[in-house]
Amino acid sequence: MIRVGIAGIGFMGMIHYLAYQKIRGVKVAALCEQDPKRLSGDWRSIKGNFGPRGEIMDLAGVSRYRDIDEMIVDPRLDLIDVCMPPAWHPEVTVAALEAGKHVFCEKPIALNPTDADRMVRAAERAGKLLMIGHVVPFFPEFWFAYQAISSGKYGAPLGGHFKRIISDPTWLPDYYDPRKVGGPMFDLHVHDAHFIRLVFGMPRAVHTVGTMRGAVAERFTTQFLYDPPLMVTAAGGVIDQQGRPFTHGFELYLEKATLLFDYMALPKLGDAVTPLTVLTDGGRASRPKLGSADPVDVFAAELKEVVRSVRADEPSPLLAGELACDAVVLCKKQTESLLKNRVVKV
């Protein structure tokens, strides 16, 4: 049995807790949270862009800590699941690794490449696993795209476009603070930066246009510059319209097919979805059968990969710290390009 301690009970901490309940051979044995109501099991104040709202939880049998240092050294725990604000990721992760624990840390790995690299080096020194929670490859539509590209089923990739947009997350404190959360570039778009790096490799340069809110990128479109014929773009950020709380999707071009997917959450109207559609060079269109798109099931699939890696004591190719470091580098370079209004080398 793998015993987990979750550090931080906000929206992601709650989602991870619910997802662990769907996985055999793993148990949430401890929680750490400074809010006394949440630590008692009253999670009704928790909300996010998707998934369930918080409710009253029965935490009987779960050890509860207000001090993260105390939970990290709990000898019963095998894995620390870090769901704290990004500014806390480096210190908590390094401390947990040095205490002999494997670490699964929510994205972004850190808010700058130096701290991200420090976390990866700490895992190497400790001989422990560091996995970063970039969940997007586990969404069934993105998983299909990843498999299609990596297998070459439809030929070599020619490029594509990604989008990931939310309304202003007014319930999140410090969202636009570059030292605490990092704004939508690091909280939101980092998912697409990670997936682009995963399937296409690192670009040689980026060119980003958009708007700033204070010291962070607010709304932006980026061209990732690769050698032709590969052309990749992405749009992301915050739209100050509460009627559009979350949208994501892609249009990917391969030699022998185009892959389409689009999702938008619409309050009171339900979800607007273009299911994953494959358009082949022969003129046919099909919609593959996919796994569950329930957000908790998607996170459960991600956490199954975490559990698999811990059991096998081997790194996960999808959750690797090095990939997460590259995603942070891409986000930093895009912000630099936006500020300088020019192409920036990666």
Q: pLDDT per residue over 295-342, tens digit each?
A: 899 999 999 999 999 999 999 999 999 999 999 999 999 999 999 999
Cβ neighbours, 10 Å, residue 315: 15
pLDDT at 49 over 80: no
Helix/strand/coil for 54 = coil
Enumerate residues 6+ apart whose C-beta is below 8 A from 233: 159, 160, 161, 162, 221, 222, 223, 224
Among 243, 247, 250, 237, smallest CA distance to 195 is for 250
What pLDDT is attached to residue 291?
A: 86
pLDDT at 40 over 90: yes
Helix/strand/coil for 159 = strand
| Pairing between β-strand 63-65 and β-strand 79-82 as defined by DSSP bridges | unpaired
Residue 245: band (very low, low, confident or very high) from pLDDT cuts 50, 70, 90: confident
Residue 93: band (very low, low, confident or very high) from pLDDT cuts 50, 70, 90: very high
The answer to whether 105 touches 93, Cβ cutoff 8 Å, is: yes
pLDDT at 153 over 90: yes
What pLDDT is attached to residue 5?
A: 98
At what angle are helices 295-312 and 11-20 packed, to 10 degrees? 70
- Distance in angstroms between the alpha carbons of the first and the last residue of the chain: 42
CATH number for the segment(s) 136-293+327-345: 3.30.360.10
Which pTM value belongs to this model?
0.95
What pLDDT is attached to residue 270?
A: 80
pLDDT at 48 over 80: no
Cα 328 to Cα 154, 297, 303, 325, distances in angstroms: 30, 26, 22, 5
Q: What is the mean pLDDT of residues 264-291?
A: 90
Residues 204-235: tens digit of each pLDDT: 999 999 999 999 999 999 999 999 999 999 99
pLDDT at 242 over 90: no
pLDDT at 50 over 80: no
14 or 292: whose pLDDT is higher?
14
Q: What is the mean pLDDT of residues 246-254?
A: 96
Integer Cα distance of 335 and 202 in angstroms: 16
Q: What is the mean pLDDT of residues 87-110?
A: 98
Residue 261: band (very low, low, confident or very high) from pLDDT cuts 50, 70, 90: very high
Q: Which residue intervals of the chain bear CATH 3.30.360.10?
A: 136-293+327-345
Q: Which residue intervals of the chain bear CATH 3.40.50.720?
A: 2-134+299-317
Fold of 2-134+299-317: Rossmann fold (3.40.50)
The pLDDT > 90 percentage for the chain reads: 90
pLDDT at 238 over 80: yes
Integer Cα distance of 51 and 169 in angstroms: 15
The answer to whether 184 touches 303, Cβ cutoff 8 Å, is: no
The answer to whether 22 touches 298, Cβ cutoff 8 Å, is: no
Q: What is the mean pLDDT of residues 192-201?
A: 98
Q: What is the mean pLDDT of residues 33-44?
A: 96
Q: What is the mean pLDDT of residues 54-67?
A: 96
Can you give the three-state secondary structure of 234-273, one letter per residue?
EEEEEECCCCCCEEEEEEEEECCEEEEEEEEEECCCEEEE
Integer Cα distance of 123 and 105 in angstroms: 12
Strands (E), 136-204: 157-167
What pLDDT is attached to residue 56?
A: 97
Among 342, 324, 334, 110, smallest CA distance to 216 is for 334
What pLDDT is attached to residue 271?
A: 84
pLDDT at 283 over 80: yes
**Across all residues in the chain, what is the average pLDDT?**
96
At what angle are helices 140-151 and 190-200 packed, to 10 degrees? 20
